[in-house]
Amino acid sequence: MMKLTPHHAIDSLRDLGFQIEFQSHAQAILTVDFPEALIELAEILADISIPIEEIIGSGGGETKGTQRLRRSLAAKGWPKRSFELTKTINGIPRESISHEVDHVRQFPDNQLIALEIEWNNKDPFFDRDLENFKRLHAEGAISVGIIITRGSSLQDGLKALVRKFADDRNILGFEDLASIGLSPTARQQSEITRRFTQTKNPMTFREAWVSHFVADKYGAATTHWRKLEDRIRRGVGNPCPLLLIGIPANVVAMEPASD
């Protein structure tokens, strides 16, 4: 097998459907100074597979696929790390701010790259991550910040994926959801019922559940590529060098994967 170069690593991810965007000379910094980081990320991300069952049944937390991604990063030397920035005046500490980053890769001379995965948080988490990166970069603590989130194809394709799940399992009512371990809350049941009993343009139960599920769990106000782009256009995190990675729809498998 041909050994990956940094440029091949970027191209290989794009070929797999990942969205890749660099900001503030991050590409030059990574390819020249930290080529191992790009190669490691390409190797790890190429193996992502998230069964549709995990997307459906992950509750409010991360999917097992995201947890597998975190374990793969940690195994490659990207562990969680805390940073403490202290302001001192005349030898007296006046202010101390702590930042915890989920994944940090350390290189010689204590050069660090910070990485956050925002699979399905509320979108203001992007502001937190980008501002943390900006501060850490300004203080010389990190060289580059990386954010991995749901890409446009995944965000736009979720409804079709969930609909296929519902079709495959012939979801016709709440009892069918219960049979596969799904228990909508009273609020959710009320909203689903409203959609399939409304007088004007009523939906089938399946359509009502699918549309409500996707909007409720993976809606526009969660962390995904377009919300990240919004922040970048507004200059949030600037001038920290950034690598932004969007996970594509084709990582979703309609068959279960092992943990």
> Position 122: which residue type?
K
**pLDDT per position as a tens digit, 83-130:** 988 888 887 877 778 889 999 999 999 999 999 999 999 999 999 999
Phi, psi (degrees; rounded to nearest 5) at 201: 50, 55
- Same domain (yes/no): 92, 117: yes
Residue 60 has pLDDT above 70, yes or no: no
- Residues 174-199, mean pLDDT to the nearest whole number: 94
For residue 62, give its domain range: 20-153+222-253
44 and 59 inside one domain = yes
Query: Is the CB of residue 177 less than 8 Å from the CB of residue 169?
Result: no
User: Within a domain: residue 244?
Assistant: yes
Q: Is residue 90 part of a domain?
A: yes
Where do runs of H (alpha helix) occur along the chain? 6-15, 26-33, 35-45, 52-57, 64-75, 124-138, 152-168, 174-179, 186-197, 205-217, 225-233
> How much is the pTM?
0.93
Question: What is the predicted pLDDT for the residue at 90?
Answer: 82
* Six-digit token string for 7: 């440029």
Whole-angstrom distance, CA of residue 120 vs CA of residue 138: 28
Looking at residue 58, its pLDDT comes to 67
- State the average pLDDT for the chain: 93
Q: Are both 119 and 231 inside the same structural domain?
A: yes
